Amino acid sequence: MTHLTQSEEETQALAASIAADLVPGDVILLSGDLGAGKTAFVRGLAAGLGIDPDEVSSPTFTLVHEYRGGRLSLYHADLYRLVRTGTEDLGLEEPAVAKGILAIEWPERLARTIPGAMTVTMELVGESSRRITVEPAHSIR
């Protein structure tokens, strides 16, 4: 399904509504150019999970941030600086991660796909609008 948002607040509201249906172990793959709003989308996921969205920042240099305090933990990975890698190289296959939600920016840099992941593709449309295409996860449970 494709959505058009006119502001960062609308992007976050869309993500928060998606977060309401997430269950432990869900993975969201976020694709889009620099500045497309991927981290803003993760802030919305955090808000929808009951986590303070102001705590969310891009983990470009630390690679993975963990946010707790909501109904589920949120793990936020940014693979922008990496050359092809596996999720196991980042510690993203640990049992704790499987009990929360994993959002990955720049999933194109993964060495392999993640079966069953939700994909979110973000495109800039004009100065402040985003076209956000959400492809639901395919159940593998």
Instruction: Report mean pLDDT in 10-residue bins for the chain, 141 residues.
Output: 96 97 94 93 97 85 84 91 58 67 90 86 92 81 45
The predicted pLDDT at position 63 comes to 78
Q: How many structural domains is the chain composed of?
A: 1
The predicted pLDDT at position 137 comes to 79
Domain presence at residue 85: yes
76: Cβ–Cβ under 8 A, 6 or more apart, which residues?
42, 56, 59, 64, 65, 66, 67, 103, 105
The predicted pLDDT at position 92 comes to 60
DSSP classification of residue 87:
G
Domain presence at residue 73: yes
What pTM was computed for the model?
Answer: 0.86
Domain presence at residue 119: yes
Which CATH number does the domain housing residue 106 bear? Answer: 3.40.50.300
Q: Which residues on neighbouring strands pair with residue 131, listed in sequence order?
A: 4, 123
9 phi/psi in degrees, rounded to 5: -65, -40
Domain presence at residue 140: no
DSSP E strand boundaries for 2-98: 2-5, 27-32, 64-67, 74-78
Between CA 26 and CA 74 the distance in angstroms is 10
Query: Is 133 in a helix, a strand, or coil?
Result: strand
The predicted pLDDT at position 140 comes to 46
Q: Give me the half-sphere count of Cα atoms (radius 13 Å) on the Cβ side of residue 105.
A: 29
Domain that holds residue 71: 2-135
Chain mean position to CA 51 = 14
Domain presence at residue 17: yes
